[in-house]
Amino acid sequence: QSALTQPPSASGSPGQSVTISCTGTSSDVGGYAYVSWYQQHPGKAPKLMIYEVSKRPSGVPDRFSGSKSGNTASLTVSGLQGEDEADYYCASYAGIKYFYVFGTGTKVTVL
Amino acid sequence: QAQLVESGGGVVQPGSSLRLSCAASGFTFSAYGIYWVRQAPGKGLEWVTAISYDARNEYYADSVKGRFTISRDNFKNTVYLQMNSLRPEDTAVYFCAKPPDSSSLRSGMDVWGQGTTVTVSS
């Protein structure tokens, strides 16, 4: 099972929006409504930002939103803030055979 | 609140074995599946294995199948990862995590431990 494909980097100025894509196949992203997104700061554990494509856990700002179209999921961060600078990973359930797969990761820089 | 604490990491030689533990508190452990995820130095996240709430179902990444075994003790609120035939490419920080929903291991991981480091080197 190959990792989901994400752009290596993305950037935006404070207050702007940035959208990160996550491309898989019909066997993972496209086949299930179980895409999740994680934020990871250096040396820290990942933090869940979005699950089941577009649900936000309690405490996650509504500046973070998720969506999916076909085999590609997206995370949008609106109103960028300095603390949003981090690595972001998508992940998807991939069925009984492969079960779970992460994306390659995207480094978001706030200019 | 829900908390997971990993332990058991260390430096071992190739071919060796190691057992990691993930101790849970602050939630009904016996109702939740648990994942292990690892991150090699400077690399991305890799899902390793998962176990259902009742231990009836185990899932493994191809990279560890046949070498790693996940298990749990619902009386001790602990999940274990037995790692055998370790390889240099198994060097990573190992995290355990729980899903947000007790009924599914598909939804993602909302609580993570701080991680424990495994180094496989001669």
The answer, for A56 touching chain B at a CB cutoff of 8 Å, is: no
**A50 DSSP β-pair partners:** A37
Helix, strand, or coil (residue A82): helix
In Å, what is the CA distance from B31 to each residue of A31, A35, B49, B62, B109? 26, 22, 18, 26, 15
CB contact under 8 A, B112 and A45: yes
Across the range B45-73, mean pLDDT stands at 97
Whole-angstrom distance, CA of residue B83 vs CA of residue B85? 7
Confidence (pLDDT) at B47? 98
Nearest alpha-carbon partner for A25 in A3, A8, A7: A3
Q: Say yes or no to pLDDT of B57 above 80.
A: yes
Confidence (pLDDT) at B92? 98
Cβ atoms of A73 and A55 closer than 8 Å: no
Mutate to test the interface with A, among B3, B47, B65 (most CBs of A within 10 A): B47
Whole-angstrom distance, CA of residue B39 vs CA of residue B27? 26
Strand B34-39 to B92-98 pairing? antiparallel
Confidence (pLDDT) at B111? 97
Cβ atoms of A77 and A108 closer than 8 Å: yes
Which chain B residues in 68-97 lie under 8 Å from chain A, judged by CB atoms? 95
- B8-34 residue pLDDT tens: 999 999 999 999 999 999 999 999 999
**A75 DSSP β-pair partners:** A20, A66
Tell me the pLDDT of chain A averaged across its residues. 96
The label of the residue with tokens 């981090």 reads A86
pLDDT band at A6 (very low <50, low <70, confident <90, very high): very high
CB contact under 8 A, B47 and A91: yes
- A19-52 residue pLDDT tens: 999 999 999 999 999 999 999 999 999 999 999 9
Distance of residue A36 Cα from the nearest chain B Cα, in angstroms: 6
Distance of residue A14 Cα from the nearest chain B Cα, in angstroms: 26
Whole-angstrom distance, CA of residue A72 vs CA of residue A16? 22
* C-alpha dihedral (A19, A3, B17, B31), degrees to nearest 10: 60
Minimum CA–CA partner of A44 in chain B: B114
Q: Say yes or no to pLDDT of A1 above 80.
A: no
In Å, what is the CA distance from A50 to each residue of A38, A100, A109, A111, B22? 7, 16, 19, 24, 24
Confidence (pLDDT) at B102? 86
- B82-121 residue pLDDT tens: 999 999 999 999 999 999 988 789 999 999 999 999 999 9
Confidence (pLDDT) at B43? 97
- A71-102 residue pLDDT tens: 999 999 999 999 999 999 999 999 998 999 99
Contacts of A36 in chain B (CB under 8 A): 107-109
CB contact under 8 A, B95 and A36: no
Confidence (pLDDT) at B64? 97
Whole-angstrom distance, CA of residue B30 vs CA of residue A52? 23
